[in-house]
Structure 1
Amino acid sequence: MVLTKYIVFSDFDGTITLQDSNDYLTDNVGIGSEQRRKLNCDVLQNRSSFRDAFKEMLDSVKLSFTECIELLRKNIKLDPGFKAFFDWCLQHDITVIILSSGMEPIIRALLKDLIGPSAEKIQIVSNSVDIHKNGSWNIVFHDDSHFGHDKSLAIKPYSSLPKGQRPTLFYCGDGVSDLSAAAETDLLFAKAGQDLITYCRQENIPYREFIDFTEIHSTIRSIVEGKSTVKEVAVNK
């Protein structure tokens, strides 16, 4: 467990990237966007677990895993503010940890392309993948939870530390895979117009809305420099 004064946990797909790579595969070479949105709504309304809905989405993708990565490399773009934010975090000894319901080989491949060698300094906690000899593949979930990857489990070792040892914790996310992490950190950044904000409003969870990482960067820098506090910026919109 890495301990620094500030730790930024972040979702990957649709948060660090502009597009969700799993949604992109599902929409373009799987069951399609309409059925995907229906499954996401089922999760938000507690009619389905995220694990089951997500598996149904990915099982509908019939490309080989190599073909999936090549397709994503051509189409997934980095959030315009993330690289500058990450470079700033490295300079100020701020830990960045990706918590993803995606698959680590895809995340590593995209990060290497999008931000270069420094991507190796980002810790990733995510699902894995089982690739078969014929090129077919299936997701291997991180844990036995109904999320498939309960992101709160990676945060709790830090949030449960005694006062004086506990870092200030941030989380950045956008969708239904972030629900378990939404209330676990000191300040939640929720992407504008996405399902995580809907959930936060339903559950009255304080959050800071963002459009891209330039806003996250500005807010966290203000807190680190003592110009504002978590309580001052964490509000329901």
Structure 2
Amino acid sequence: MGSALPIALPALKTNPKFIFFTDFDGTITVQDSNDYMTDNLGFGTALRKEGNADVLYGRRDFRDSFRDMLDSVKTPFNECIDILRQNITLDPGFKAFFEWASENNVPIVVLSGGMTPVIRALLAHLLGEEAVDTLQIVSNDVAPRDGKSINEEGGWQIVFHDDSGFGHDKSLEIRPYARLPAEERPVLFYAGDGVSDLSAAKETDLLFAKSGRDLVTYCEKEEVVFTTFNDFSDIHNTVKEIVAGKLTVKEAATGRK
């Protein structure tokens, strides 16, 4: 393996045989922080669900729908963070999976359509600062609007990671790993739940799609191979069996359960 690879592909630095990519909102957490802000501080649930349906069925780009959602939230950013800390909870199985992955050289890479300052604040609150520092987080950012501070009314806006219709095309982070020569390429997993995960759905060896969510609908519509999960304990059990050689990714891809 070339010496440049661990720099270009950070998850390779410990020479892992498996890498776990995951969405954040509604996957690592029970609630989606962006949905929570939109529903409670922005234009509400009905318009949000309408926007998600437009994305799911190809009538609109995720980027535009998501910007509209967040632009409807006028609450100062620091207040948003405080409100989210009080209302967003960790998936009940994630901490155990995180600890197991750390002990077994399975890097976890968070690929999020959300915003890094929100993700870091919530993970620090839910897992601890030290744990956050071990995770690679690739997501969008936040910036002040012209002439304003992010911590005043209507003062912040999302800054997208790239120019794609997703705002953050998660496939761009995964594909360099997927294209490694067979003798260097780890087995790749991805877990997600919603429309922000559509760009990643076809990119890994095994996709975990959260039961009852939009990603399952998309996978069935597009004939993407997947397996469902209810919480991270389901993922933990499956990944542990694959890592131990007791189960193959093909055997694990059972679709809707």
With the length of structure 2 as denominator, give the TM-score of the two structures: 0.91
CA distance in 2, matches of 1:43, 1:93: 36
Match among 171, 180, 188 for residue 161 of structure 1: 180
Match among 55, 60, 66 for residue 43 of structure 1: 55
CA distance in 2, matches of 1:74, 1:120: 22
Match of 1:213 in 2: 232
Question: How many Å apart are 1:122 and its aligned residue?
Answer: 0.5
| CA displacement 1:164-219 (0-9 Å, x = unmatched) | 11100000000000001000000000000000000000011111100000000000
* Bigger mean CA offset, 111-120 vs 100-109: 111-120
Match of 2:98 in 1: 86
Match of 2:41 in 1: 29
Q: Helix, strand or coil for the counterpart of 1:199?
A: helix
Match among 222, 225, 234 for residue 244 of structure 2: 225
Question: How many Å apart are 1:45 and its aligned residue?
Answer: 1.4
2:32 aligned partner, one-letter code: D
Which ranges of structure 2 fall in alignment gaps of 5 or more residues?
1-8
CA distance in 2, matches of 1:48, 1:227: 42
CA distance in 2, matches of 1:71, 1:182: 31
For residues 58-207 of structure 1, the aligned pairs below 5 Å read 58-116=70-128, 117-132=130-145, 133-134=148-149, 135=152, 136-207=155-226
CA distance in 1, matches of 2:208, 2:131: 24
* Number of aligned residue pairs: 237
Question: How many Å apart are 1:118 and its aligned residue?
Answer: 1.4
2:18 aligned partner, one-letter code: Y
CA distance in 2, matches of 1:131, 1:108: 18
Give structure 1 regions of 4+ aligned residues with deviation exceeding 2 angstroms: 131-135
CA distance in 2, matches of 1:73, 1:212: 20
Q: Helix, strand or coil for the counterpart of 1:37?
A: helix
Question: How many Å apart are 1:236 and its aligned residue?
Answer: 2.2
Q: Helix, strand or coil for the counterpart of 2:157?
A: strand
CA distance in 1, matches of 2:160, 2:106: 28
| CA displacement 1:92-114 (0-9 Å, x = unmatched) | 01100000000000000000010
| CA displacement 1:28-66 (0-9 Å, x = unmatched) | 010100110000001111111000000000000010110
With the length of structure 1 as denominator, give the TM-score of the two structures: 0.99
The reply on whether 1:9 has 2:21 as its aligned counterpart is yes
Q: Helix, strand or coil for the counterpart of 1:181?
A: coil
C-alpha contact (below 8 Å) 1:100/1:125 kept by paired residues: yes
CA distance in 2, matches of 1:142, 1:119: 20
Which ranges of structure 1 fall in alignment gaps of 5 or more residues?
none
2:144 aligned partner, one-letter code: I
Query: What fraction of aligned residue pairs are identical, expressed as a percent?
Result: 59
